[in-house]
Chains A and B, each alone.
Chain A
Amino acid sequence: MLQTIRDGERLVVRLNGELDHFCAQSIRRELDALLEADKGIRMLILDFTTLSFMDSSGIGVILGRYRIMRDRGGTLAVIHMNRHIGRIFHMSGMDRIIRQLDKQQEAQA
Chain B
Amino acid sequence: MNQHNEMQTTFLSLAENESFARVVIAAFAVQMSPTVSEIADVKTAVSEAVTNAIVHGYEGTKGIVELRARIDGSWLTVEVQDRGKGIADVDQAMEPFYTSHPEQERSGMGFAVMQTFMDELRVDSQPGAGTTVSMRKRIRAGGVV
Residues of A within 8 A of B (CB): 18, 20-22, 24-25, 28, 53, 55-57, 59-61, 63-64, 83-84, 87-88, 91-92
Contacts and interface: CB of A to CB of B under 8 A. Distances in A.
B73 to A, nearest CB: 25
Contacts, number: 64
Across the A-B interface, the 9 shortest Cβ-Cβ residue pairs: A60-B105, A22-B15, A59-B107, A56-B109, A55-B47, A21-B51, A84-B40, A64-B105, A60-B107
Choose among B19, B37, B51, B107 the residue with the greatest number of A CB atoms under 10 Å from its CB: B107
A22 B19 contact: yes
Contacts of B43: 53
A21 B44 contact: no
Nearest to A58: B107
B107 A92 contact: yes
Given A22-B16, A57-B51, A83 B37 contact: yes
Interface of B is mostly: helix
Interface in B1-36: 15-16, 18-19, 22
Interface string B47-81: 11001001100000000000000000000000000
Interface of B: 15-16, 18-19, 22, 37, 40-41, 43-44, 47-48, 51, 54-55, 104-107, 109-110, 112-113, 116
Given A55-B44, A56-B110, A57-B51, A20 B116 contact: no
A72 to B, nearest CB: 18
B107 A56 contact: yes
A73 B109 CA distance: 27
Interface of A is mostly: helix
Nearest to A88: B113
Contacts of A18: 19
B44 A88 contact: yes
Contacts of A20: 18-19, 22, 47, 51
A55 B40 contact: no
A41 to B, nearest CB: 20
Given A21-B54, A61-B105, A83-B37, A56 B18 contact: no
B19 A56 contact: no
B82 to A, nearest CB: 14
A95 to B, nearest CB: 14
B37 to A, nearest CB: 7
A60 B48 contact: no
